Amino acid sequence: MQNKYYKLILIVALFITTISTTCQAQDPVVQTKFTADPAPMVYKGMVYLYTGHDEDDASGFLMKDWLLYTTTDMVNWTDHGTVADLSYFKWAEDGKKGFRNGAWAAQCIERNGKFYLYCTVEGRGIGVLVSDSPYGPFIDPIGEPLIAPASDNIDPSVFIDDDGQAYLYWGNPNLWYVKLNKDMISYSGEIVKDELIMKVKGQPDPFHYQEGPWVYKRDGHYYNAYASTCCPEGMAYAMSNSPTGPWEFKGYIMKPDKRSNGNHPGIIDYKGRSYVFGFNYKLNFALVNKHHERRSVCVAELKYNPDGTIQELPWWYEGAALKPTGVWNPYKRTEAETIAWSEGLKTHKNDEIGIYVTSIHNNDYIEVKAVDFKKGAKSFEMSAASLKGGKVEVRLDDRNGLLLGVCEVANSDSLDGWKIFRTEVKKKKGVHNLFLVFKGDEGELFNFDYWKFTK
């Protein structure tokens, strides 16, 4: 019943908000799930976005796993599903309750071909997982918390300086750090409490550090971005000449806004531009006119002044649209869960094909931005599974835009009975936003695995 309620309300609400959202900053990045606490990582030309996951029925914090999304153009994001969950930390089991709630903020970093995922297990400390791939599988190499349980031991941020020294930062309402050893799963020396970030020229900072540190270095400057004040939380930042401070408060990245109870910065440089990630509650408020901890990750372009300070951004809803950093090749297989914007859909995973798009109903759609039809296309094909069937309208530049063709999806006898369906399409050249608009009778139509065009 909850899923049906979610579906009906979201279709109406997102139809209203999409008109303005598709013209604004990607707000939010993911529409098929509630996501939180973004931790972007750039590796070999790709952005890996690790997020927390608020369950659909959450009112307070209800988080059991960590998710992964990737992009090469900052506008189309591919869903890779759960990359780790609480059961990866055997020490996090809570008696008869098992591996319960508490998969809070995490961050992943690469070192010497290994990937280290530092995870908050709320109330039980900070753990670390390791893998040979950014996609996992991850394992717990130490079998216990790296940072012991304490009320303010949350929100890890890891940074490796130019000299190879790695640091782990965390905390709410205090900021802590420790020097990590080269193995990245142990530390040396004392855990240090840094109170200087609370000061501005010797005076108490009214826009003080709250939680969610994100430490990085750029053009010789050290930055500590963080969620400031509470509540609502904005995003502020401090700068230093050292990874351990002293830190000097510099201002807001984004001021607090009553439309969002919290925030959590993640900052990267990618293809010559800078980006800041955070979250808002826009999808939650599209469902109910009350606050639930059901958050949605957002991203905006970040700009620096010549002295290294950061230009303040407007609130997420009011930002400028992100420009794609590349174009999408429609002639290769594209997973259906590669999405710039969608309406009314969910994603699931099975052992046979991995992630796929589901909960497809009449008038739902997927948008993929900046698709480069260099020489046009002759046909469109897709993999789907259905007990009912339906149609996919292939359109350009708008959900009601130029119709290239209609692909009929017939009954395949099972929602796991994957078959290929094809249709001829009108030849149209150039770079366009692609819309796959689903049509059919009442109820769920089919599951959708991948698509591609042929020349």
Per-residue pLDDT at 196 exceeds 80? no
Assigned CATH topology for domain 334-454: Jelly Rolls (2.60.120)
Per-residue pLDDT at 19 exceeds 90? no
Q: How many Å separate Cα 293 from the centre of its chain?
A: 16
Nearest of 345, 391, 338, 405 to residue 368 by alpha carbon: 338
Q: What is the overall mean pLDDT for the chain?
A: 90
pLDDT of residue 95: 76
Q: Which of 60-69, 188-197, 273-282, 349-358 has the lowest mean pLDDT?
A: 188-197
In this predicted model, which residue has the larger pLDDT, 6 or 196? 196
pLDDT in tens, 143-180: 999 999 998 999 999 999 999 999 999 999 889 999 99
Per-residue pLDDT at 200 exceeds 80? no
Residues 6+ apart with CB under 8 A from 232: 256, 257, 258, 259, 260, 261, 262, 263
Q: Which amino acid would we find at residue 76?
A: N
CB atoms within 10 A of CB 65: 17
φ, ψ (nearest 5 deg) of residue 87: -65, -15
pLDDT of residue 203: 55
Sorted by where each begins, the domain ranges of the chain are 2-318, 334-454
Edge-to-edge strand list for the sheet holding 77-85 = 34-43, 46-54, 63-71, 77-85, 338-339
Residues 6+ apart with CB under 8 A from 66: 50, 51, 52, 53, 82, 83, 84, 85, 103, 106, 117, 119
For domain 2-318, the question of CATH label 2.60.120.10 is answered with no
The Cα 394–Cα 61 span in angstroms is 39
pLDDT of residue 202: 55
Q: Which of 10-19, 21-30, 147-156, 258-267 has the lowest mean pLDDT?
A: 10-19
Per-residue pLDDT at 5 exceeds 60? no
Edge-to-edge strand list for the sheet holding 157-160 = 157-160, 166-170, 175-180, 187-194
For residue 224, what pLDDT band results from cuts at 50, 70 and 90?
A: very high
pLDDT of residue 160: 98
Per-residue pLDDT at 392 exceeds 90? yes
